Amino acid sequence: MTTIAFIGLGHMGGPMAVNLTRAGFDVTAFDLAPAAREAAGASGIRVAPSASAAAREADVVLTMLPAGRHLIAAYSGDSGDGLLAAARPGTLFLDCSTIAVDEARRAAELAAAAGHRALDAPVSGGVVGAENATLAFMVGGEADDFSAALPLLEAMGRRIVHCGGHGLGQAAKACNNMVLGITQIAVAEAFVLGERLGLEHGVLFDVMNNASAQCWALSTNCPVPGPVPSSPANNDYRPGFAGPLMAKDLGLAEQAIASTGVDAKLGLLAREIYAAYAAGEGSDRDFSGIIDTIREAGPA
């Protein structure tokens, strides 16, 4: 049976670890936060006394951490006593966190230098997808390692794509979320423009959703209440996908834009708009709540 060390039991990692356990994998988990460890224990997950203790016995070390700096710190430890040193040679390091492409490549290099294998496998689908095991995984790394990880990924998700070599899972995620950020702003601008011109929300929704403006930001995450009852707009913009997470992902896209020199004006503008939103009224609201910011910025 595959033994998994699961490191990072937050909003996403907690339910993902539960799904692996339910699927019959031998999971031992750890989180720095005592509350996360307690919640995992209460869900039937075996909790280790430290991350290294979990990694020592593992075939796969799966990480679900906030950002790249947390991952590199967990891999390397304070003085070389991190996960990479603790694991047996040849262990598969599977990182599902959302981090920069360059950080994912650095993590893979560190793993290889320590005699291990590595994949970047960021997800989309949010907490609901983590709970229901319906996440989408975008995976970067060697084909053999992807095949080895597939049974685990299938226990946590539905759509699993091997995107290419190291870092290309993160690259696909950055591209996707850059489009998502841009389109959510575009749809919100269209609704505010329609309001000023006298269009009813439902009418504009019906037109755009059956025409060339159709997209996820409209048909699923519609930023005005009414047309899509399950969208956060009907629930006072409770997330969903919170403003700060979109700002973070657009920051990663910005890093990729800078390192490649691409003329991605809209991606950079979306990054600026969501950074301000996350620092202000969007700090704990869904990212579709950007429509209020747009509405308030113009004349009444």
Residues that bind ligand NAD (CB under 6 A): 7-13, 30-33, 36, 51, 64-66, 70, 73-74, 97-98, 123-124, 126-127, 241, 245, 248
Q: What is the distance between the terminal CA atoms of the chain, rounded to a whole angstrom?
A: 63
Among the listed residues 166, 173, 248, 285, the single catalytic one is: 173
Q: Which is nearer to ligand NAD, 8 or 223 (CB)?
A: 8
Q: Which two tokens stand for residue 189?
A: 């601008």
Min separation Cβ 64 and ligand NAD, Å: 5
Tell me if 104 sits within 8 A of 169, measured CB to CB.
yes
Q: Which two tokens stand for residue 293?
A: 């910011």
Instruction: Give me the DSSP letters along 113-143.
Output: HTT-EEEE--EESHHHHHHHT-EEEEEES-H
Active site residue 248: no
Min separation Cβ 112 and ligand NAD, Å: 21
**Residue with smallest beta-carbon separation from ligand NAD:** 10
Sequence-ordered alpha helix ranges (H) in 210-242: 216-219
Min separation Cβ 29 and ligand NAD, Å: 9
Q: Which is nearer to ligand NAD, 135 or 204 (CB)?
A: 135
By CB neighbour count within 10 A (0-12 exposed, 13-18 middle, 19+ buried), where does 101 fall?
Answer: buried
Q: Which is nearer to ligand NAD, 169 or 227 (CB)?
A: 169
Percent helix, strand and coil across the chain, each rounded to 5? 55, 15, 30
Q: Which is nearer to ligand NAD, 152 or 245 (CB)?
A: 245
Min separation Cβ 109 and ligand NAD, Å: 19
Catalytic amino acids?
173
